Structure formats: structure tokens, C-alpha cells
């Protein structure tokens, strides 16, 4: 009697296990592919800009903080800040960022203690 109950439990568990497959229908697959294509944006031209930053007092705190904030922006490919020359160099996708937004980001850090010398901005496409 116990063997019969055990066999029934195993058969029921096996039926549930087999019936719970995770295969997607073709319609679900097409819908997911369409969503992925919609998420992808057309990449713009990668621009490179450099500018002087005033107000930095140290390489580890100031320069690395600014570098990290710039590098974390959407569309920024590379951001480096050189404390010695007080120069930031940023490569970015022009569909997602522009020079003005980069400057605003720098000038918002630490309640505005850093300023960008706008006469020193140089950009290359």
C-alpha cells in the first residue's frame, strides 16, 4: 500500500515537472526581440573635448571625483582628469551628451567649488 502511494506521488511530481517547461512561443520571442531593438539607440559621433578646471586642490580627492562623475554620465566613453595640468579630457557620444552638459556636471560637484575655464574648451569630432 505504501509503495502504491509513493509511486503515485512520484508520477504526479514527474508530470508537474515535465509540464512546467520554460519554452517561449514564437510570438513571445518576436516580442522580446522587438523590445531589444527598441532599447538600442543609434550611436552618434564620438567627440573629444578638453577643458581646464579651476578649484582642484588634490589629485586623489578632487581630480578622481570629477573624473568619476564625468565617466559615469550616459554616453561618455572615456573621461580623464589630470591634476597637474588641471585638464579634463572627455570622449562622448554626441547623441547623448554635449560640452555644455559636461561643464554643468563639473560645476555642480561639491556645491560649485570647481569651475570650468570656458576659454580653454577644445573639441574634435
Full pLDDT tens readout for the chain, 125 residues: 576 776 676 666 655 555 544 455 555 554 555 455 444 555 788 999 999 999 999 999 999 999 999 999 999 999 999 999 999 999 999 999 999 999 999 999 999 999 999 888 888 87
Q: Is 0.85 topped by the overall pTM?
A: no
Report the distance separating Cα 75 and Cα 97, nearest Å: 6
DSSP state of 25: P
Amino acid at each position: 500500500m505504501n509503495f502504491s502511494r509513493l509511486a503515485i506521488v512520484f508520477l504526479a511530481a514527474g508530470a508537474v515537472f515535465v509540464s512546467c517547461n520554460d519554452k517561449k512561443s514564437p510570438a513571445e520571442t518576436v516580442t522580446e526581440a522587438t523590445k531589444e531593438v527598441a532599447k538600442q539607440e543609434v550611436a552618434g559621433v564620438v567627440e573629444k573635448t578638453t577643458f581646464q578646471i579651476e578649484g582642484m586642490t588634490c589629485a586623489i580627492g578632487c581630480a578622481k571625483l570629477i573624473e568619476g562623475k564625468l565617466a559615469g554620465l550616459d554616453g561618455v566613453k572615456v573621461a580623464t582628469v589630470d591634476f597637474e595640468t588641471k585638464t579634463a579630457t572627455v570622449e562622448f557620444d554626441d547623441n547623448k551628451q554635449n560640452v555644455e552638459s559636461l561643464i554643468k556636471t563639473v560645476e555642480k560637484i561639491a556645491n560649485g567649488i570647481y569651475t570650468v575655464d570656458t576659454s580653454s574648451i577644445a573639441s574634435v569630432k
